[in-house]
Amino acid sequence: MYNTPCVPFNMSRVALVVVANSITEGRIRDIMSRRGWEVEICQDGDKAVDEYVRLNPDLVFLSLDLPTMNGHIAALEMRETNSKARIAFVSSKARLSKTRDAAYSSGAVTTLVTPITFDSIERQWEEIIGDIPEAPGLSDLDALYPEIKDPEPEIPVLPPLPSLPPPVILQPVIEKSKPKKKRKLKLLLLSLLIMGSSAGITHYLGYVNLEIYFDELLQFID
């Protein structure tokens, strides 16, 4: 497949490939096998961190776009697990800028651009096996995860209150005005009439002589 000589086979070194692309996986597997590496494939970002802990590989090929967990966070998780984790990012030309940012943040040794060939890995092999940079993104690892809030306690639903009877509207009591003055006047006239009748009867019967009072009344009026 390639015109470059094979490196003697040595299964003492393990490479973990997490790129979620079957063509790129096959190319890296073939190239690294020719260089004497054992290759393990994983296509899930979250599972790749578990595989890294289980295998403790010497080299990780990692792409940025992965299911369940993006490659940037996966790389930081690996660096948090092992500060000497050796990671090489794999990127298309369209995603190269963002991938290089993630590579710097996670302290990756290099970034490989697809399509991967034996020659491209050979050209960058010194970077791949060189010193491992610091990972400045480790200090911001928690901030890359979405904030998870504790669920608020559910408020129990209270039973509905019984319906209240309709309000009683009290009608104002309007007292009818009584003609007090007219009633008093009638009573006065009735009393005078009774007294006059009584006086007339007593005068007629000879018990009282009203002529004397009439004379005095006429003198009072004059």
Q: Which pLDDT band, with edges at 50, 70 and 90, does 5 fall under?
A: very low
Show me where the domains of the chain are located: 13-144, 181-221
Asked if residue 2 has pLDDT above 60, the reply is no
Q: How much of the chain is helix, strand and coil, in % rounded to 5? A: 45, 10, 45
Looking at CATH, the fold of the domain delimited by 13-144 is given as Rossmann fold (3.40.50)
**Res. 162 pLDDT band, cuts 50 70 90:** confident
Query: Per-residue pLDDT tens for 190-203?
Result: 666 667 666 666 66
State residue 217's pLDDT score. Answer: 55
Distance CA 91, CA 73 (A): 16
Least Cα distance to 82 among 64, 59, 111 occurs for: 59
pTM to 2 decimals?
0.61
Query: Rounded to the nearest 10 degrees, how much is the dihedral formed by the CA atoms of 177, 179, 180, 183?
Result: -150
CB atoms within 10 A of CB 13: 14
> Taking residues 181-191, what's their average pLDDT?
66
Q: pLDDT band for 78, please (50, 70, 90 cuts).
A: very high
